[in-house]
A and B are shown apart, each in its own frame.
Chain A
Amino acid sequence: MLNNCARTLGRQANKYGRLYGTGNDVVSRMIPDFVDMSMNTISSFFATSKNNYATEASFETKPYKVHKLDTTPSTSVTCTRDEALLLYRKMQTIRRMETSAGNLYKEKIIRGFCHLYSGQEAVAVGMSGAMRPHDMVITAYRAHGWTYIMGIDPLGVLAELTGRVSGCSRGKGGSMHMYSKNFFGGNGIVGAQVPLGAGLAFAQKYNGNDGVCIALYGDGASNQGQAFEAYNMAKLWDLPCIFVCENNGYGMGTSNQRSSASTAYYTRGDYIPGIWVDGMDVLAVREATRYAIDYCKSGKGPLVMETFTYRYSGHSMSDPGTSYRTRDEIQEVRQTRDPITSFKDRMLSSQLATAEELKKLDNEIKAQVDEATKKAKADREIGLDELPADIYSQSLEPTIRGTTPWNGMPHKHVGVSS
């Protein structure tokens, strides 16, 4: 699997600039946090200096499977050191954030549901590596990782989970309802995001730009009727929609074998071409997404992409997640398919980074998430005056009825903008 070759040992600059010398805080300066996924931005942070690593490496991915496509995404992928570090940082940040969320839930600071993305990081992160700023995303309730990827910092995510004012929905949305620019949730109704995603793609096409929409749903959600209705219209009207089935093996306690008459999710668009990709391989996901975006933006209509992945935790925090699968199964995936460990191994063996560098990065991420966690715990909730805020963008009733005829409250406009 790790058929990688260090291409260029880094004693020379590549087009993305080069990395880092010995400066203490260079690492943290080098990647602008949550600003822009574009490598060009990052490159401006780099000064030339001496170094001892590969600036670029190429790898073989697992073969893709395709449905009704004449070509496949390339199995040979290249990755620069800067890209690799960014992908690694993003995956590790999500993992850390989710660990922290799990702990906050156990401390009863996060209430209700809390669906962790741990194990699935390579999907969001890999896709983000191929997305352009005007591409749109919509997903289900397992949304913390995507929210971060779409520009909300860990505090914005964690404080939403704790229901505090620094949360990206000011604490009103909760774990399933986070949004940001070009990110439309966070939907608690299984499958509902699929036609919504097709609608976003409809708008992209309508507006005449080359943007696409990535609409993600689970193996469980894939069976909802509205997914198939959306497929049909997306194909009829050639909507630039990438339907992404994150196949993590289970929908709650039901294995995909028990929920789906066909588990070849990438073929289930029938007349819509599809791609299967190893969702634990961040580079494969990135490559497949590039391919898919190219396909969609060229006006050929939608694609279905299945990312084969795994969820480590229970469905939500209240589900131990061990009654319908074995601990061994989880352990086995962690040991053999973990998206972060496997990518780290690749980075190390191809000399894209050193163990010390990654260790340092890990510590930095940990510190950042810990800090965000602390703030998310200490933060205040919005005031009572915001309870009737933003029910409408333009309320036609000045007063919102309370629990009795006498305790109505004025409708208020707050309007978070991203």
Chain B
Amino acid sequence: MVMTPSTKMFLRTAANVLNRRAFSTSRVTCAQQMTVRDALNQALDEEMERDEGVFIMGEEVAQYDGAYKVSRGLWKKYGDKRVIDTPITEIGFAGICTGAAFAGLKPVCEFMTFNFSMQAIDHIINSAAKTYYMSAGRISVPIVFRGPNGAAAGVGAQHSQCFGAWFAHCPGLKVISPYNSEDCKGLLKAAIRDPDPVVFLENELLYGNQYPMSDEALSKDFVLPIGKAKIERPGNHITLVAHSKAVELALEAANELAGQGIECEVINLRSLRPLDTQTIEQSVVKTNHLVTVEQGWPTCGIGSEISARIMESEAFYHLDSPIVRVTGMDLPMPYTKSLEVYALPRAEDVVTAVKKVLGARSK
């Protein structure tokens, strides 16, 4: 460590003064409950109603109502022209959607799961992400690539993995990894309205979960800003940063730790690119400790990126101990039930990490 404890302390106090700002916690009213699936469906429906240029294309999205029923009812409502079943040809329809976006339409390109987006990754990166730049701003690509991402349950190695870090790596893309129903609705609407290519990473295991929807979130005008994290739970002792289903994990751990007198500040990233470094830094300045939580693999992961950014920032001087990443294990997903559990981070891993990190301070 370059800094002595006393300089660190000094800088930290100064920064604390500068950064004491209001949290962007959302109102939790006696709001209506809505599943993530319905929130996504509502977002699609509203945006299709709002803009004739919006259409949905993908496997089983129309007549079957979506493999996970996210597009339920939309084919009936909007018809063949705007809700389009494709053959199983990801690179083909991702290319067609991207081409349509070149021409100014607003495709929502559904991958049945993001595992299959690997078939199409060339168009996502080489066609969608780079064209605006290569054309010097002549051709924008207002497309959304969406579908379930991340570990599912009992489906084995090829169908259980997180691509958050993969896409977040690529300039030209905006990458969203929402957690609950409000996130999904507000951010999917934002993604569809956004003039740039957006990769929207849903989570199959969250589709059926219900979360409160504020009155505001129920409105047709509800749009959340891309690139802004949300503080799900304020706390003073340590910052937990997570995205997608790992937010649930972080909240669970925070709950447990609260019973032991440790107050975690839980940040729901919402977007992976842009990454809301500011919110994380501000929190770290306050809590002096950081643990990142994600289900994806550790190497070059979202936690790695966050750690690097903190290292590069002023917030580094506010850390009382090293940042720790809680991640999926560094291996393909096994089908074996008892092992699948261990391949993914559990709340107790987060608890352990928090205690270790905080323990380091008292030394």
On A, residues with C-beta under 8 Å from B are 111-113, 163, 169-177, 187-191, 220-221, 223-226, 251-254, 258-260, 323-324, 381-382, 384, 386-388, 391, 400-407
Contacts and interface: CB of A to CB of B under 8 A. Distances in A.
Given A172-B335, A254-B87, A382-B339, 9 more contacts: A172-B339, A177-B335, A225-B91, A226-B119, A252-B67, A387-B343, A401-B298, A401-B329, A405-B325
Contact of A112 (B64, B88, B153): B153
A253 B337 contact: no
Nearest to A251: B88
A229 to B, nearest CB: 11
21 contacts: A112-B156, A172-B335, A187-B158, A189-B119, A189-B158, A190-B116, A220-B87, A224-B89, A225-B91, A252-B60, A254-B85, A258-B85, A259-B87, A324-B63, A381-B338, A386-B339, A391-B332, A400-B329, A402-B330, A403-B345, A406-B352
B339 A111 contact: no
Given A112-B155, A388-B329, A403-B345, A172 B88 contact: no
Contacts of A254: 59-60, 63-64, 85, 87
Interface in B54-90: 59-60, 63-64, 67, 85, 87-89
A331 to B, nearest CB: 22
A187 B91 CA distance: 18
A259 to B, nearest CB: 4
A388 B329 CA distance: 9
A406 B338 contact: no
B55 to A, nearest CB: 18
A38 B337 CA distance: 38
The interface size bin for chain B is 35 or more
A289 B157 CA distance: 33
A189 B356 contact: no
Interface in B324-343: 324-332, 334-339, 342-343
Nearest to B160: A112
Contacts of A381: 336-339
B115 interface: yes
Nearest to A164: B336
Contact of A188 (B60, B156, B346): B156
A188 B154 CA distance: 13
Contacts of A323: 64
Given A177-B158, A254-B64, A403-B326, A384 B338 contact: yes
Interface of B: 59-60, 63-64, 67, 85, 87-89, 91-92, 115-116, 118-119, 152-159, 298-299, 324-332, 334-339, 342-346, 349, 352-353, 356
A383 to B, nearest CB: 9
- Closest 8 interchain pairs by CB? A174-B335, A111-B154, A112-B154, A253-B64, A188-B158, A174-B156, A223-B87, A112-B155
Given A112-B153, A403-B349, A391 B331 contact: yes
B339 A384 contact: yes
A223 B88 contact: yes
Given A259-B87, A387-B342, A173 B353 contact: no
Given A112-B153, A220-B87, A176 B158 contact: yes
Question: Most chain-B CB neighbours within 10 Å: which of A177, A224, A386?
Answer: A224
B337 A220 contact: no
Contacts of B91: 225
Contacts of B353: 404
A382 B335 CA distance: 11
A382 B338 CA distance: 9
Contacts of B153: 111-112
Nearest to B348: A403
A220 to B, nearest CB: 5
